[in-house]
């Protein structure tokens, strides 16, 4: 499954955020997952469309899509040289698909900062530098091997060498590998190096309770930095999210109303993570259950069927497809069919985010 890792300096709010995320996931009664280990959890992707489908197709089982979230603690200056939990830390980041970089944007004299003061950009750069240094080490090793292999005239190795040299030059100037524009073929050539700075990053600006509007000077700096490096920012207040995650649905709504916000910032964070990973959802809906399934952008109907069961992909016949808008207009699947709006799609069909589907197969 797809995963995102929470990273950041000590005392910036990583575990507060992680605990709020995993608590919030546990509250959903029909949630078929649980915590994998203390630092790896499965988090439900909040999707208001599920409730809208349930209004027309009543069932007690509603299963949201999910992403794995890891709490990767232990990064300190010098991690790339093995300081702190350096090696373990880097190995964990290597395994995740995306990075959620928590940045401290709250001033609080009671919470010490490893570098003595709150300074979001300095903190971001401290972490990025460790990742860049670790990548430089991996790329240099790989360069040596590839140079030798390329001598034989092998075209793939020569192409790989070019990509590695481009990345090495960027790292050498203190830039993350994601700043180098690579086409999908180039990316495939170095995919197995699992470079840390090639992974997409979302900055999570952790603000003080009274900065919920996200207009503080600290946050402004993070936003500007993110813009310059093609990354996104989500603002949260870790302590408020931790509190919200522990409340019943009713009490939570009351607290949200009191704060004047529509939904927990964690929901925004999870959805942003999902989209950072290039993920989309389609739905299956019947009286037994309504369920969101995770696919990548560009999946065909048989590939989507394969997410449910590999046999459905192999023995795919066709898909019946409708949209939530159809359902809301015609009131039921029968109504959609009677209106001639139930589409039959074949093997070439590209599944769209939000499609509601039945698969015909001979499995």
Of 22, 146, 206, 281, the residue at the interface with ligand GDP (CB under 6 A) is 206
Q: State the DSSP H helix or E strand holding residue 236, giving kind and residue range, or none if neither.
A: strand 232-236
Q: Which of 80, 126, 193, 239 binds ligand GDP (CB under 6 A)?
A: 239
Q: Judged by CB under 6 A, does residue 208 bind ligand GDP? A: yes
Q: Tell me if 300 contacts ligand GDP by CB under 6 A.
A: no
CB of 174 to ligand GDP, least distance (A): 24
Specify the residue, 18 or 299, whose C-beta has the smaller distance to ligand GDP.
Answer: 18
16 is known to lie in a ligand binding site: yes
Quick one: 97 or 211, whose CB is closer to ligand GDP? 211
Told to check if 74 binds ligand GDP by CB under 6 A, we report no
- Helix extents (H) in 229-352: 238-246, 249-259, 265-276, 301-308, 310-314, 324-330, 333-338
Stretch that binds ligand GDP, among 191-199, 233-241, 252-260, 295-303 (CB under 6 A): 233-241
Quick check: 14 binds ligand GDP (CB under 6 A)?
yes
Q: Smallest distance from the beta carbon of 196 to ligand GDP, in angstroms?
A: 19
What radius of gyration do the chain's Cα atoms show? 23
DSSP class per residue in 121-149: HHHHHHHHHHHHHHHHHHHHHHHHHHHHH
39 near ligand GDP, judged by CB under 6 A: no
Does residue 40 belong to the site contacting ligand GDP (CB under 6 A)? Answer: no
Based on the shown chain and the rule CB under 6 A, indicate whether residue 13 belongs to the binding site for ligand GDP.
yes
- Least CB distance to ligand GDP at residue 84 (A): 12
Q: SS3 of 261, please?
A: coil
Query: Could you tell me which stretch among 13-21, 153-161, 220-228, 317-325 binds ligand GDP (CB under 6 A)?
Result: 13-21
**Is 51 annotated as a binding-site member?**
no
Among positions 2, 3, 10, 94, the unique one binding ligand GDP when judged by CB under 6 A = 10
In this chain, which of 7, 44, 177, 237 binds ligand GDP, going by CB under 6 A?
A: 237
Q: Phi and psi (nearest 5°) for 53? A: -70, -40
Least distance CB 273 / ligand GDP (angstroms): 18
Contact by Cβ (8 Å): 203, 231? yes
Q: How many helices (H) and strands (E) does the chain have?
A: 14, 12
Which residues, including other chains, have CB under 8 Å from residue 142's CB and lie 6 or more apart? 164, 190, 193
Q: Which residues pair with 295 in a beta bridge?
A: 280
User: CB of residue 103 vs ligand GDP: minimum separation in angstroms?
Assistant: 10
Using CB under 6 A as the binding rule, whether residue 106 contacts ligand GDP is answered as yes
Q: Are 24 and 69 in contact (CB under 8 A)?
A: no
CA distance 159 to 178: 18
Applying CB under 6 A, does 12 fall inside the site for ligand GDP?
yes
* Sign of the Cα pseudo-torsion (20, 22, 28, 29, in order): negative
Task: Write down the least CB distance from residue 13 to ligand GDP, Å.
Answer: 3
Closest CA to 275 of 97, 32, 105, 124: 97
Q: Does 111 bind ligand GDP (CB under 6 A)?
A: yes
Length of the chain: 363
Write out the residues near ligand GDP by the rule CB under 6 A.
Answer: 8, 10-16, 73, 106, 108, 111, 206, 208, 237-239
């Amino acid at each position: 499954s797809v995963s995102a890792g929470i990273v950041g300096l000590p005392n910036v709010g990583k575990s507060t955020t992680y605990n709020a995320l995993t608590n919030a996931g546990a509250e959903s009664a029909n949630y078929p997952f649980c915590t994998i280990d203390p630092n790896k959890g499965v988090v439900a992707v909040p999707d208001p469309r599920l409730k809208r489908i349930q209004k027309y197709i009543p069932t007690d089982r509603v299963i949201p899509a999910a992403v794995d979230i890891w709490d990767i603690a232990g990064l300190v200056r010098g991690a790339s040289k093995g300081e702190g939990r350096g090696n373990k830390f880097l190995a964990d980041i290597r395994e995740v698909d995306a990075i959620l970089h928590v940045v401290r944007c709250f001033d609080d004299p009671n919470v010490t900062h490893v570098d003595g003061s709150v300074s979001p950009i300095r903190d971001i750069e401290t972490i990025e530098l460790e990742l860049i240094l670790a990548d430089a080490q991996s790329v240099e090793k790989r360069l040596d091997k590839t140079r030798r292999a390329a001598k034989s005239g092998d075209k793939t190795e020569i192409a790989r060498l070019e990509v590695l040299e481009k990345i090495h030059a960027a790292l050498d100037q203190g830039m993350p590998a994601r700043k180098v524009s690579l086409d999908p073929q180039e990316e495939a050539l170095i995919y197995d190096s699992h470079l840390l700075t090639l992974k997409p990053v979302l900055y999570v600006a952790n603000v003080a309770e009274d900065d919920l509007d996200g207009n503080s000077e600290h946050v402004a700096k993070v936003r500007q930095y993110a813009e310059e490096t093609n990354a996104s920012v989500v603002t949260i207040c870790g302590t408020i999210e931790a509190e919200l995650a522990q409340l019943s649905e009713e009490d939570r709504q009351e607290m949200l109303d009191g704060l004047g916000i529509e939904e927990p910032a964690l929901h925004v964070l999870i959805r942003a993570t999902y989209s950072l990973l290039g993920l989309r959802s389609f739905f299956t809906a019947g009286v037994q259950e309504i369920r969101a399934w995770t696919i990548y952008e560009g999946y065909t109907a048989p590939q989507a069927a394969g997410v449910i069961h590999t046999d459905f992909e192999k023995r795919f016949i066709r898909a019946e497809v409708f949209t939530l808008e159809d359902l809301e207009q015609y009131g039921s699947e029968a109504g959609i069919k009677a209106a001639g709006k139930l589409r039959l799609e074949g093997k070439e069909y590209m599944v769209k985010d939000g499609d509601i589907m039945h698969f015909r197969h001979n499995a």
